[in-house]
Amino acid sequence: MSGYCDLAPGHPVHGHYHDHEYGFPQRDEAELFERLLLEINQAGLSWEIILRKREGFRAAYHGFDVDAVAAYGQDDVARLLADPGIIRNRLKIAAAIHNARVIAGLRDSHGGFAAWLDAHHPLDKPGWVKLFKRTFRFTGGEITGEFLMSLGYLPGAHRPDCPVQTHIAALAPPWMRGPAPVPGHGKP
């Protein structure tokens, strides 16, 4: 998305996201869930529409609280379908609820969403896409790729000459590091 580095800096909608979020490593469960939910909702739409509706999503989905969304029932689905502050798509809403339940389950199996991502790093994009399709709903190649780029698990969020890339490199995102060490196989 190197063209984003031309469009976004100084833009009233894209600027902050480009300069402070896109490509930066993230560990917080609510932040990870937010990014996944926003990427899913962007499918077929522009990223600018999603950024403009971001606060609406935050309010509608209880601040991206995984447990709150995982507990949603039919009344919540009806509420979301009637909310003009978000993308009102039944499949995307169902995916958000399903994916929140999956993420809650990752706490037991892996210690959380971030730990699950770390456990599968480094995969190439096709490997990630296959894993996401098997694990989550509404996560095709573009959604999965953008989600992982936005969090530093895949390269490509910024051009090498983008000033933001220097800040991201200082944080050593996962794509810049090798695979996680296998317990008991590292240096003493």
* pLDDT tens per residue across span 139-187: 999 999 999 999 999 999 999 999 999 999 999 999 998 665 444 333 3
Q: What is the largest CA-CA distance in the chain?
A: 58
Question: CA dihedral defined by 113, 42, 169, 163, rounded to 10 degrees?
Answer: -160
Helix axes 125-135, 141-150, angle to 10 degrees: 110
Mean pLDDT of 19-44: 97
Q: 140 and 129 in contact (C-beta within 8 Å)?
A: yes
Q: What is the pLDDT of residue 2?
A: 62
Q: What is the pLDDT of residue 185?
A: 34
Q: What is the pLDDT of residue 177?
A: 87
Q: What is the pLDDT of residue 27?
A: 96
Q: What is the pLDDT of residue 74?
A: 98
Q: What is the pLDDT of residue 70?
A: 98
Q: What is the pLDDT of residue 188?
A: 31
Round the average pLDDT of the chain to a whole number and report it.
93
So which residues are the catalytic ones?
A: 17, 39, 47
Mean pLDDT of 27-41: 98
Q: What is the pTM of this model?
A: 0.92
Of the candidates 52, 26, 156, 121, which has an alpha carbon nearest to the alpha carbon of residue 164?
156
Q: 148 and 129 in contact (C-beta within 8 Å)?
A: no
* pLDDT tens per residue across span 92-131: 999 999 999 999 999 999 999 999 999 999 999 999 999 9
Q: What is the pLDDT of residue 183?
A: 42
Percent of the chain residues past pLDDT 90, beyond the cut: 92
